[in-house]
């Protein structure tokens, strides 16, 4: 993959693009950039590993569906991310031609990425970038989703076998809504923060 060409493809679609060799440098950058804001999070192994919630909560008002009081449901907490000034999430796949791919079971993560924020940051490792949109979708369905199902402790066939998607009808199926960002959404500044070391799934 030619990183410079890929970054240029994303810029042509209206995105700001930044690159950091390590997750630590990317986390330091985001910690400097986001200050005094309301900040929502999409569930992401990459963002959890970067400890961005813990860093940003010191100088922002943050909300994360996985970090909530005992008397609050996941859905109640997840809805808060629809109304934040800033949204942070990752992607399941991306393409050298400039598309972003995300797959969701409930829809809160992909839903919040489409409208209503001052700024959205997609934070992801360059190892998620595939040559084409078709391959990015394949990666999302056959690599990212099975690993994510396993992380959640589900007993879907992909989680048990760990090799590919079985297009299951399991109650814990996590693949219900596929959102492809073909181009930057209108009226939201959107930045891609690329990380040179492998992160997430």
Question: Considering beta carbons, is residue 29 or 166 the nearer one to ligand SF4?
Answer: 166
SS3 44: coil
Taking CB under 6 A as the rule, which mask of x and - marks residues 18-57 in contact with ligand SF4?
----------------------------------------
65 binds ligand SF4 (CB under 6 A): no
CB-count exposure of residue 134 (10 Å: 0-12, 13-18, 19+): exposed
Q: What angle do CA 176, 177, 183 make, to 5 degrees?
A: 160
143 binds ligand SF4 (CB under 6 A): no
Q: What are phi and psi of 82, to 5 degrees?
A: -75, -15
Q: Using only C-alpha atoms, what is the Rg of the chain? A: 16
User: Which residues pair with residue 112 across a beta bridge?
Assistant: none
Q: Give residues 152-191 in contact with ligand SF4 (rule: CB under 6 A).
A: 156-158, 165-168, 170, 173-175
92 binds ligand SF4 (CB under 6 A): no
Report in angstroms how near the CB of residue 73 gets to ligand SF4 at its nearest: 22
Residues forming the site for ligand SF4 (CB under 6 A): 141, 145-146, 149, 156-158, 165-168, 170, 173-175
């Amino acid at each position: 993959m030619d990183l410079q060409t890929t970054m240029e493809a994303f810029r042509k679609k209206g995105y700001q693009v930044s690159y950091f060799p390590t997750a630590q440098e990317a986390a330091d950058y985001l910690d400097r950039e986001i200050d005094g804001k309301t900040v929502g999070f999409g569930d992401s192994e990459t963002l959890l590993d970067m400890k961005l919630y813990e860093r940003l909560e010191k100088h922002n008002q943050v909300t994360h569906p996985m970090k909530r009081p005992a008397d609050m449901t996941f859905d109640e907490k997840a809805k808060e991310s629809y109304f934040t000034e800033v949204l942070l999430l990752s992607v399941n796949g991306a393409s050298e031609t400039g598309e972003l791919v995300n797959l969701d079971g409930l829809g809160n993560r992909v839903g919040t990425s489409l409208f209503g924020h001052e700024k959205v940051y997609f934070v992801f490792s360059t190892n998620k970038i595939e040559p084409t949109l078709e391959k990015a979708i394949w990666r999302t369905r056959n690599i990212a989703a099975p690993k994510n199902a396993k992380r959640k402790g589900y007993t879907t066939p992909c989680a048990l076998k760990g090799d590919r998607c079985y297009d299951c009808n399991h109650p814990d199926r996590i693949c219900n809504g596929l959102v492809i960002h073909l181009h930057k959404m209108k009226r939201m500044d959107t930045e891609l923060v690329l990380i040179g070391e492998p992160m997430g799934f």
